[in-house]
Amino acid sequence: MKKGFLLILLTIFLSACNPVKDSDIVLEQKEITTNSEKFETFIRNLENGQEDKIRIVQRTTEGDPIFNTLEYNGKTITYTYDNSRDKFGDSNTGLESGTCEHLESETSETGRIYRLSGCSSEVGEYFEFEVLE
């Protein structure tokens, strides 16, 4: 009985320490390491006017997660930038959000770069995501 209880406590503790979910797109050293197909599906859903939501996780040098969430409602994209778990960030850590009209892409030397445009706030203009080929 005690072992089962300790296992449950350990699972809860580890879940709280690792805010990255299995469904997240994980980016390490500018390369998608987990769930690249979710980003491709999101792009297709945008093109077809279908609602979708993704969360891209990048880690700071110290290993803290930075979350970039894109939520498409069929018309606009709500972009949320969350660096609230950055322990070494400056006083500007927290959530910032805005809506954008488009997710544009262009070819780069190493793949495709995606950027938001037509944004209601400055935060959307900072989103840039490169998919390496």
Query: Is 82 in contact with 67 (CB distance < 8 Å)?
Result: yes
d(CA 31, CA 58): 10
Query: Is 79 in contact with 98 (CB distance < 8 Å)?
Result: yes
H or E element that contains 10: helix 2-17
- The confidence score (pLDDT) of residue 62 equals 84
Quote the pTM value: 0.78
pLDDT at 6 over 70: no
Strands (E), 35-127: 52-59, 65-72, 77-82, 95-100, 102-107, 111-117
**What count of other Cβ atoms lies within 10 Å of the Cβ of residue 12?**
10
pLDDT at 85 over 80: yes
In sign, the C-alpha dihedral spanning 98, 25, 41, 22 is negative
Contacts of 128 (CB under 8 A, 6+ apart): 113, 114, 115
Q: What is the mean pLDDT of residues 112-132?
A: 90
Contacts of 121 (CB under 8 A, 6+ apart): 96, 97, 98, 99
Q: What is the mean pLDDT of residues 40-62?
A: 92
- The confidence score (pLDDT) of residue 30 equals 64
d(CA 32, CA 25): 7
